Structure 1
Amino acid sequence: MSLTGTVAALRGPSASNHDFWEDLRGLIETLHVFSKIDDLAELLHGNELVQAILVDGSGMTVEEFVRLTQDTERLVADRDIPLICLVAVSFDKPEALRPDAILTHPVPADTVTAQIRSLIRLKARRTESDVRLAALKDLGIEPPRPVMPVSGGQIDNRPCLMVVGTRGNFSHIEAVLGSKMQIVAALTADMANLYLSWRSFDMVVLDQDNDAAMDTLVLLRANPTFFDLPIILLTEGLDRETTREAYLTRANDVLTLHSTRADLYLRLTAGIRTRRMERQTQEMLLRSQDALESADGTISAEAFRQYLQHAKASAQRGHEPLTVGRLTIFPLDDVSNAQRPQITLDKSALRIIRRLVRIEDLAMLVDGTGLITVFPGTPRTDCEITINRISAVLRNTLVTLEIGERPLRLDASAKLSAVNTPA
């Protein structure tokens, strides 16, 4: 499935990776490729909504690539557009670059589109977090403070990096970032898996032979708990076969053993910054929902009105859809339970529904209205698919309404309303 929407890209006029760009055009609905930043500026000032920007360093010197990236960062400084750098050079000295992600050539086109999708999802979650916090502010409710600040803060909140392997590059990595984060060494993949079950890490670096590194990568990605954990491989060389295999096994980036400290610093800080932003955003989404709800697990009609007002304004600014659903929950196979108070059925269903919707979707009980679900950035047709999935799971899940009672199955129907539909 191609990535819907518009992506813009900047590359040098002498770039020779034409096959890569042909593959990318087949994966993105609308891809604008420019060689001049003025052309990008003109696109951004138009009416077309750009979802992400790529800067490709193929065919450029280090100085040209750094200058183009910095010019792009200044251009989008007041816009919330993910920036991804495709690197084909080594940095000999530290550079002041702050992209959302860095990928090393030769990188497959589908890896780039996967990275774009991930950053678009993060942007949607951050927007929804801002909407909830704005509603809390209007209601005079103290907004939650993040336990996981993006840039650390407390000494025990510093980013934490794990280096897996025995090739001796731990001291090299520690020399680059040892004062800025906690670094833990794991000699084997099993040891890494064990450490990851004990605590949260912001990134993993695999300092192993290529075959062993691939095995470790497969092991970690097989655990659903670590599916989004940033992992970087240090390989003996950047040959096309090894690099492609690493990316297809869902490595976040690939570097060589000869990478400079500047290379390591850029890759590690960019990946860790984005990872911590994801973790903070998820935390704020959950805690702000808790703050909107009262002690009995419902949100007042006034609080929901304030929230929906901000959500609609945000959808209109971003030219994105917004759909709201009013769900009716009813017993599927137990007539005697049809007389139960609706609130009992709603609360039992809500626990299941919250596991079936995205973290940026809002699902809660609204006082005087019932079970409401809000789907930011989602057209009504897609919401119908989600409601069908919720109904199917409820019909096949036994729910105990009260202790000692026979479990029963529930079902759901929904009345969906498109609050905002982009033209």
Structure 2
Amino acid sequence: MDYETSLSWRGPYWYAGRRPKRNSSGDAPEDLDVSLLSMFERQATPPTALPAAIVVDIAHIEDGKKQPFFDWLLPHIGNLPCDVPFYVLTDGDDELPDGLQATAIIDRVVPDDVLLMLICIHQRALMRSEEAQLRRKVFGRIPGFGTAPHHTGSSSLMVVGLSGRFLEWQDASDPKVEVVGAFDGKMAVEFMSMRAFDAVVIDAAFEDAIDYIRQIRRDARFAGLPVLAVCDDEEDTAMLFRNGASDVIVGENRKETLTRRMVSSIRFGKRRRLADRILAESQMWLRQQIADGGLASEYYSSYLKTCSDALAVRGLDLWEMRLQPEHFGIHASTPEELEEIYTTLLSIADATSRDEDLVCLVKGLGPVAVLKNEAGTVRLQKRINSILTHTVR
């Protein structure tokens, strides 16, 4: 799993039954959290502050009120200015209402620390998806770039293991989703490198399941892929979650409930894959612009404005680093030397930054890095100083 240790943006939690734990003293204070059950009983409107996440444990909603509760809640979620992680906690016996577009439907036994980790992961994934949409809007479609095999193909589900329940997983999936089986983790990774998969089900004995999850998570291409692990013993769920399972399916599940959990995972996985593809293609295109003297300044200005406005909705700032040699105590004596330094700075920034950060050469400005948080600027500054100390100087 693409482990995250801090929230991308902070805010109150909207919760029903299960209130997520805080990550640090820097989180929004608990007294700003919104009890959705209390708001629902009063038919009130939640406060306007953007939540860090929305968590609903369906077991805490009275029978007969589940559909009315979600009929009340979903419009309020739809009125938020941007996407936030939305979780429904359940088990195999719960009946889930229609119309849920949850980020994930997860077994309620998920440990507190794993739930917080998932919130951090999904916050970043939502921002990456928005960044991909932003680049498509500003830069347009980018022709002539081949897509990596693990980004291409129709929506698919990978089932790993020899439980003999392959047909059950196929039956629980959307008919439009192709279901492919693999005997073990090694075979799964080989298949996943050849074409796109939007989610994985690990249906194997506990020790094997742990091993298969680790094999998948070790490959950076699949670090953020939704992985559902099947578990017969509830005592093993925490270990599966902590080894990288996005959800753990315990015991028997209603077919409708199981289908909704899988659909939720596949939907999110498909969104992640499309964002990965657009970001990878845009990075290749930006590198190509170097040969033409850099990205046109009007593209860059439009990107800064659009991205800054999008981040402001979440209460975040955009951090622009001008990667000029003099900022790092380096002076180029010839145009050739300057070009070499530019190449070095761009290479370091590209390797150090996240793939949703913009690293490029801009005509008239030189190399720049546009980052989504201040910590990224500090990390990049240190990395550049460290490498240049041993190379250029």
- Shorter chain as denominator, the TM-score bin is 0.7 to 0.9
Cα distance between partner residues in 2 of 1:201 and 1:253: 17
* Match status 1:204 vs 2:200: yes
Cα separation, partners in 2 of 1:265 and 1:94, compared to 1, 3 Å: farther
Which residue of 127, 140, 143 maps to 2:141? Answer: 143
Partner of 2:121: 118
Cα distance between partner residues in 1 of 2:388 and 2:66: 53
Cα distance between partner residues in 2 of 1:279 and 1:94: 27
Structure 2 alignment gaps of length 5 or more: none
Cα distance between partner residues in 2 of 1:5 and 1:258: 37
Partner of 2:353: 357
* Match status 1:268 vs 2:262: yes
Cα separation, partners in 2 of 1:88 and 1:135, compared to 1, 3 Å: same
RMSD over aligned CA atoms reads 3.4
Cα distance between partner residues in 2 of 1:271 and 1:315: 26
Cα distance between partner residues in 2 of 1:62 and 1:189: 41
Report how far residue 109 of structure 1 moved. Answer: 0.8
Cα separation, partners in 2 of 1:354 and 1:215, compared to 1, 3 Å: same
**Paired residue secondary structure (1:360):** coil
Q: Partner amino acid for 1:284?
A: I
Report how far residue 297 of structure 1 moved. Answer: 5.7
Contact 1:5 1:30 in 2 (8 A): no
Partner of 2:300: 304
Cα separation, partners in 2 of 1:58 and 1:2, compared to 1, 3 Å: farther
**Paired residue secondary structure (2:292):** coil
Report how far residue 357 of structure 1 moved. Answer: 0.5
Report how far residue 287 of structure 1 moved. Answer: 3.4
* Match status 1:82 vs 2:77: no
Which residue of 35, 38, 46 maps to 1:36? Answer: 38
Cα distance between partner residues in 1 of 2:227 and 2:347: 33
Which residue of 248, 252, 259 maps to 2:242? Answer: 248
**Paired residue secondary structure (1:308):** helix
Partner of 2:324: 328
Q: Partner amino acid for 1:369?
A: L
Cα distance between partner residues in 1 of 2:125 and 2:265: 13
Contact 2:39 2:46 in 1 (8 A): no
Contact 1:52 1:83 in 2 (8 A): yes
Cα separation, partners in 2 of 1:196 and 1:132, compared to 1, 3 Å: closer
Of the structure 1 ranges 317-326 and 211-220, higher mean CA displacement relative to structure 2 is found in 211-220
Contact 1:7 1:53 in 2 (8 A): no
Cα distance between partner residues in 1 of 2:376 and 2:185: 40
* Match status 1:235 vs 2:227: no
For 1:69-126, what per-residue CA distance to the aligned partner results, in whole angstroms no more than 9, with x for missing partners? 4432221113222211122452457733110112102111111111111121122223
Partner of 2:276: 282
Report how far residue 233 of structure 1 moved. Answer: 1.2
Contact 1:2 1:29 in 2 (8 A): no
Cα distance between partner residues in 2 of 1:93 and 1:121: 27
Cα separation, partners in 2 of 1:51 and 1:30, compared to 1, 3 Å: same
**Paired residue secondary structure (2:225):** coil
Larger relative strand fraction: 1
Cα distance between partner residues in 1 of 2:153 and 2:196: 11
Report how far residue 341 of structure 1 moved. Answer: 4.1
**Paired residue secondary structure (1:85):** strand
**Paired residue secondary structure (1:54):** strand
Contact 1:247 1:253 in 2 (8 A): yes
Cα distance between partner residues in 2 of 1:178 and 1:273: 11
Contact 2:58 2:94 in 1 (8 A): no
Report how far residue 178 of structure 1 moved. Answer: 6.1
Contact 1:61 1:89 in 2 (8 A): no
Report how far residue 326 of structure 1 moved. Answer: 0.8
* Match status 1:24 vs 2:21: yes
Q: Partner amino acid for 1:102?
A: I
Structure 1 alignment gaps of length 5 or more: 13-19, 137-141, 397-408, 412-423
**Paired residue secondary structure (2:367):** strand
Report how far residue 180 of structure 1 moved. Answer: 1.6
Of the structure 1 ranges 24-33 and 203-212, higher mean CA displacement relative to structure 2 is found in 24-33
Contact 1:9 1:56 in 2 (8 A): no
Q: Which has the larger radius of gyration?
A: 1
TM-score under structure 2 length normalisation: 0.82
Partner of 1:10: 15
